[in-house]
């Protein structure tokens, strides 16, 4: 929340909301958070609400709202992939958690192919793990088809040789991984989470799917490609620090100039 002091010594209260309504099998904290925000905004607690994606903006029932994307430091690379690989290389990037649903996707693959040993693609997970013993067990079970790489801060290393980046999450705010992957030329396969339509709105950046069966079908049935440089540049500009700074400045000016 931002409190900006005005000349008359009042405050404006601007809230940035990162939450997407989510009704799942567990306690729906995301939905509860959005519900509380709607109550507070209607009660006049906020003068304006900033939403970080179109889906979140649709769920906030308040007139004084706008979409301003999170500023992300992204860049484009001239990437060369090996075209002679026998199996697609699939990446899931981000902290290992129930929300990100890495283990849920792995469990689905285990059931779909009877065993992770039969996985018809290579799956690499990059991100912080809370339980390394479980990840080592999965690696052994899959005979190397599933690998856990831990934390990595180098974008080029994270996306090197990847054919697909997948987003198996139950819910998201706006996925920085999705933006980074596209800017590095990697097509994305995403569940219909918040922010996906904002990032993948241009044709040729990836696919929306509604379940893991569809996700696997795209991985195995679609030839991966490298996203053209002009589309990658357009996306990096859409989420640039310069554009976000200008949008915030214009919003605050609208209050000060009243």
Q: What is the mean pLDDT of each run of 10 residues along the chain (258 residues)?
A: 47 69 48 60 68 79 78 64 73 90 95 96 92 89 92 79 92 84 92 85 88 97 90 87 86 76
Decide: helix, strand or coil at residue 163: coil
The per-residue pLDDT for 199 is 87
Q: Which CATH number is 89-237 given?
A: 3.40.50.2000
Question: Across-strand partners of 119?
Answer: none
What global pTM score does this model have?
0.78
The beta-strand segments (E) located in the chain are 2-5, 11-17, 48-51, 65-67, 89-93, 122-126, 146-150, 164-167, 188-190, 206-208
CA 39-45-50 angle, 5° bins: 85
- DSSP annotation of 150: E
The per-residue pLDDT for 115 is 94
Decide: helix, strand or coil at residue 81: coil
| Domain definitions of the chain by residue range | 2-71+240-256, 89-237
By CB neighbour count within 10 A (0-12 exposed, 13-18 middle, 19+ buried), where does 23 fall? exposed
């Amino acid at each position: 929340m931002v409190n900006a002091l005005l000349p008359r010594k009042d405050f404006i209260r601007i809230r940035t909301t990162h939450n997407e309504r989510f009704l799942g099998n567990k306690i729906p904290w995301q939905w509860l958070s959005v519900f509380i925000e709607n109550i507070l905004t209607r009660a006049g607690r906020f003068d304006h609400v900033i939403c970080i994606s179109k889906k979140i903006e649709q769920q906030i029932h308040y007139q004084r709202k706008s979409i301003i994307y999170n500023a992300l430091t992204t860049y484009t690379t001239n990437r060369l992939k090996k075209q002679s690989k026998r199996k697609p290389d699939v990446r899931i990037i981000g902290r290992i958690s129930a929300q990100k649903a890495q283990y849920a996707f792995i469990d689905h693959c285990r059931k779909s192919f009877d065993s992770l040993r039969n996985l018809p693609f290579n799956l690499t997970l990059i991100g912080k793990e809370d339980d390394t013993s479980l990840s080592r067990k999965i690696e052994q079970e899959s005979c190397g088809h599933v690998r856990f790489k831990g934390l990595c801060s180098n974008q080029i290393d994270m996306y090197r040789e990847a054919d697909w980046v997948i987003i198996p999450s139950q819910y998201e705010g706006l996925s920085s991984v999705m933006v980074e992957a596209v800017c590095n030329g990697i097509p994305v396969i995403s569940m219909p989470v918040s922010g996906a339509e904002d990032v993948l709105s241009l044709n040729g950046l990836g696919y929306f799917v509604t379940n893991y069966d569809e996700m696997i079908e795209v991985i195995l049935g679609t030839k991966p490609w490298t996203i053209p440089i002009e589309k990658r540049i357009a996306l990096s500009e859409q989420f640039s620090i310069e554009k976000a700074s200008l949008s915030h400045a214009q919003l605050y000016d609208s209050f000060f100039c009243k």
